[in-house]
Amino acid sequence: MEVAHAARDLANGWEVAHPTAGSRIEGAEVIGFRDRAAAGLDMRVVPAPAVTVVIEFGSGLTVDGPGGRQAMGSLIGGLWPGAVRIRGERVKCVEVRLSPVAAYSLLGCSLSDLDGTVVDLADLCGPADARRLREQLAEAAGWPKMFALTDAFLDRMRGSASADPEVAASWDRIVASRGGVRVGELAASCGWSRKRLWARFTAQIGLTPKRAAMLVRFDRAVAGLSAGADAAAVAVACGYTDQSHLHRDVATFTGRTPSALVG
């Protein structure tokens, strides 16, 4: 990660940067964002098959969630964060999207503890470490240094736990199949009973295998809907039985209709 590529979206004034070599943390995707035009951030969080860590080193973020309104410098959102809205002015941040397998070993907490809310990063790593990281990012000269600091921070957070190889392989197969694999197939492929796979997978990933497959399929559907595709076409492409099935999953994960979600 020696060189970062940054591109400016001239339509809305946001600069988006990616490390050309990727993150050296397995299972992590790192992206830098800078609000060059002071457009402001106002975003509803949508469930996704990744745990999201946002380290903001500008003016901070305001999070409206189940626990009320909170000011946060950095935050962590689980696979299913619930009804959460994030706002900020002149935002400068590094966002890390962790596969749940990576998040299980890096964050040192049960992923089910992150369901239904967004938590302050300081709650996991301590206020001093969270504050120091923000200060280092604010002082860093350029995205490559910021990305290196972020990777080093994640390395320091790494705990002793790691996902079972069978759980990791099952997650990878769910993602590769775009949510189309059955639990029985997963159990057979790793030599476990359905009950054992269900219990170990849920404990380490934070969702049941069935709900994880639903989430991966939903994430693909959101991408199609956001690109302007017709809901009926998205339903067929993503393996839903019909458009009503898609509507039910969107309502399950967001409490909204597909059209309201895209809007």
Domains in the chain: boundaries: 4-157, 165-262
Packed helices 165-176 and 194-205: angle between N→C axes, nearest 10 degrees: 90
Report pLDDT digits (tens) over 154-195.
999 887 789 999 999 999 999 999 999 999 999 999 999 999
Question: Strands (DSSP E) along the chain, which ranges?
Answer: 4-9, 14-19, 28-35, 41-44, 51-56, 61-65, 68-72, 74-77, 85-88, 92-98, 118-120
Residue with tokens 């597909």: 258
d(CA 146, CA 7): 16
pLDDT band at 45 (very low <50, low <70, confident <90, very high): confident
pTM: 0.89
**Are 183 and 170 a contacting pair, CB within 8 Å?**
no
Structural domain 165-262, CATH architecture: Orthogonal Bundle (1.10)
The b-or-e profile of 24-52 (16+ CB within 10 A means b, else e) is ebebbbbbbbbbeeeeebeeebbbbbbbb
d(CA 243, CA 14): 34
**Are 197 and 229 a contacting pair, CB within 8 Å?**
no
d(CA 44, CA 116): 14
Cβ count near 199 (within 10 Å): 13
Report the residue count for the chain. 263
- Report the top-level CATH class of 4-157: mainly beta
| Mean pLDDT across 45-49 | 90
d(CA 215, CA 99): 13
**Are 66 and 83 a contacting pair, CB within 8 Å?**
yes
Residue 87 clears pLDDT 80, i.e. is over it: yes
pLDDT for res 174: 97
Do 165-262 and 4-157 have the same topology in CATH?
A: no
Helix (H, G, I), strand (E, B) or coil at 110: coil
